[in-house]
Structure 1
Amino acid sequence: MLDLFQNFSPITQAFLATLFTWGMTALGAALVFATKTLNQRLLDSMLGFAGGVMIAASYWSLLAPAIEMSEGHAIGDWFPAASGFLLGGIFLWGIDKILPHLHPNTPLGQAEGYQPKERKRSTLLVLAITLHNIPEGLAVGIAFGALANGGTEASLAGALTLALGIGIQNFPEGVAVSMPLRGEGMSRRKSFFYGQFSGMVEPIAAVIGAFAVAFIEPLLPYALSFAAGAMIFVVAEEVIPGSQEKGNKDLASMSLMFGFVLMMILDVALG
């Protein structure tokens, strides 16, 4: 697989990798064809698992490489990672305040961001998951874009591992959109369409991220930590609270730990 990917440019690699992550979102959304509802405990455990994967990926695949690349920085080895991480969180916080969206299992009256006069629950739900997929696509794109600046086979394996981990956690995100829509009476086909549509932004964000860092090398540690900060904001603001709001706190917490460990093993063993 490494040999196959090495035949493509980093930007093409990022695009292909996020086609996989988008496909995993679609696969999760496709569960709507098998059932109208999904056990809440199972959904909460899947969301907790996704949060663990994102936390582990943020450190091993993004923050740790950013710190290594910053060795000898004039201010300190920590500066690019720290500043980029905070900027990533602030960026997502700003979008969260502007973009109209609605978290799963939340009443329409509690939608966040700017609210137009006419609001559709389906549109707001899709926008919520789409918002969360932006940093995931950027993270994959930046990881592959780093290869243009002298990346090794090991760093290619790390980028592929990151894409694999994000793809795994995209599965419950697709479920989290399609199932609530189906439960509200929307047709299976429309519920699936909206569910998979939320992952469409990842290939776009990945190409943007890969293109930026592939040609502007000094941005790389900042970009890696920026993506990490954005992902952690999503986990803290939505994924963890969403996995526990129905009372399955212990199950969601243990699932998060399993997700973290799986991503850690993948990254250390393959990356």
Structure 2
Amino acid sequence: MDTLMNFAPWQQALFATLFTWAVTALGSALVFAFKTIRSHALALMYGFAAGVMIAASFWSLLDPAINLAEQQDRIPWLVVGIGFAAGGFFLYLADKIIPGIYLKRARTEGSSRAAVKRAILLVFSITLHNIPEGLAVGVAFGAIGAAGNGEQAAMLLAATTVAIGIGLQNFPEGAAVSIPLRQGGMSRFRAFMYGQASGAVEPIAGVLGALLVASVNSLLPYALSFAAGAMIYVACKELIPEAHARTKEESHWAIFGIMAGFTLMMVLDVALG
């Protein structure tokens, strides 16, 4: 932590988002070891990532946003409400860019070609929502530069927590892209390259987010709550449904993962923050 404090916020954001990209690549690399992954394991991974993101969205983003809004003599619930809703709506608009009708059709077809088509569409979908995820990390690190000297250590811990949370949810996403491509007949290397490429936008978005927040301090509580809204949207739209879909009747595996992820992140945030 002390070493990270020697770098500028945008550099910290770059290191953090390179980490989240690396975790995406690590998940994609499972294609070299497995052609399939047991549904229970995937349900646990998706659920765990969702639980981590839900906990981090409050303790690492919304709670600091509320405190900052109070310090700036603003109406906390209004500031946080606007930012949170904007984050979720931004992800909703991003999802609409992908032609969902084709994705649904591909899911109903049984051929390997349909599976490849579905996975490639998933690459674009995940890439799109990785942009605001990168922004979320960048915003969290950009907040360090805007905070007072006494608050910088706590803000660094919060930002690191956000990066870890997003990195954890990137792991099953990388596997969820690469393994279906492999099952569809694509080579292991190409499947891996498609999977890891979905996280390549995060370092760019992270640096932009850090620079924006560092230069416009008044946007900080909005930006933090925006990032929280984006994370909740991803958890509810992508991770939780995917976790339940993996096990169908045995949905308790997804629930166990969500509870474990939430509990771990809550304990870390409260104990260390």
TM, length-normalised to structure 1 = 0.90
**1:266 Cα deviation from its structure 2 partner:** 2.1
CA distance in 2, matches of 1:181, 1:102: 20
SS for the counterpart of 1:71 is helix
Listed as ranges, the matches of 1:128-147 within 5 Å are 128-147=125-144
User: CA deviation digits over 1:56-102, x for unaligned, max 9?
Assistant: 11111111100011116666221111110011111111111123469
| Structure 1 pair 222–103 and aligned structure 2 pair: CA distance change class (3 A) | farther
**Structure 1 vs Structure 2: percent identity of aligned residues?**
56
Structure 2 residue 159 is matched with structure 1 residue 155: no
Please name the residue that 1:125 is paired with: 122
CA distance in 2, matches of 1:230, 1:103: 24
Q: Residue type matched to 1:93 in 2?
A: Y
Listed as ranges, the matches of 1:182-193 within 5 Å are 182-193=182-193
Please name the residue that 2:38 is paired with: 39
Please name the residue that 2:62 is paired with: 63
| Structure 1 pair 235–102 and aligned structure 2 pair: CA distance change class (3 A) | farther
Please name the residue that 2:175 is paired with: 175
| Structure 1 pair 156–102 and aligned structure 2 pair: CA distance change class (3 A) | farther
SS for the counterpart of 2:186 is coil
Q: Residue type matched to 1:196 in 2?
A: Q
Q: Residue type matched to 1:52 in 2?
A: G
Q: Residue type matched to 2:122 in 1?
A: L
CA distance in 1, matches of 2:71, 2:13: 29
CA distance in 1, matches of 2:65, 2:102: 31
Count of aligned pairs between the two proteins = 261
Structure 2 residue 271 is matched with structure 1 residue 269: yes
CA distance in 2, matches of 1:7, 1:72: 26
Q: Residue type matched to 1:33 in 2?
A: F
CA distance in 1, matches of 2:156, 2:100: 35
The runs of at least 4 aligned residues of structure 1 exceeding 3 Å deviation read: 72-75, 99-104, 119-122
Q: Which moved more, 1:26-35 or 1:132-141?
A: 132-141
| Structure 1 pair 155–252 and aligned structure 2 pair: CA distance change class (3 A) | same
User: CA deviation digits over 1:244-271, x for unaligned, max 9?
Assistant: 1240311101111101111112222333
CA distance in 1, matches of 2:100, 2:124: 5
**1:238 Cα deviation from its structure 2 partner:** 1.8
Please name the residue that 1:78 is paired with: 77
User: CA deviation digits over 1:212-260, x for unaligned, max 9?
Assistant: 1100000000000011111111111121111112403111011111011
**1:147 Cα deviation from its structure 2 partner:** 1.0
State whether residues 9 and 210 of structure 2, in contact with CA within 8 Å, keep that contact through their aligned partners in structure 1: yes
Please name the residue that 2:240 is paired with: 240
Higher helix share: 2
Structure 2 residue 211 is matched with structure 1 residue 214: no
CA distance in 2, matches of 1:267, 1:162: 10
Gaps of 5+ in 1: 111-118
Which of 106, 109, 117 aligns to 1:108? It is 106
User: CA deviation digits over 1:113-170, x for unaligned, max 9?
Assistant: xxxxxx9444312012212322321111001001111351121122112212222222
CA distance in 1, matches of 2:208, 2:52: 23
| Structure 1 pair 61–258 and aligned structure 2 pair: CA distance change class (3 A) | same
State whether residues 107 and 118 of structure 2, in contact with CA within 8 Å, keep that contact through their aligned partners in structure 1: no
Q: Residue type matched to 1:225 in 2?
A: S
Gaps of 5+ in 2: 109-115
State whether residues 66 and 81 of structure 1, in contact with CA within 8 Å, keep that contact through their aligned partners in structure 2: yes
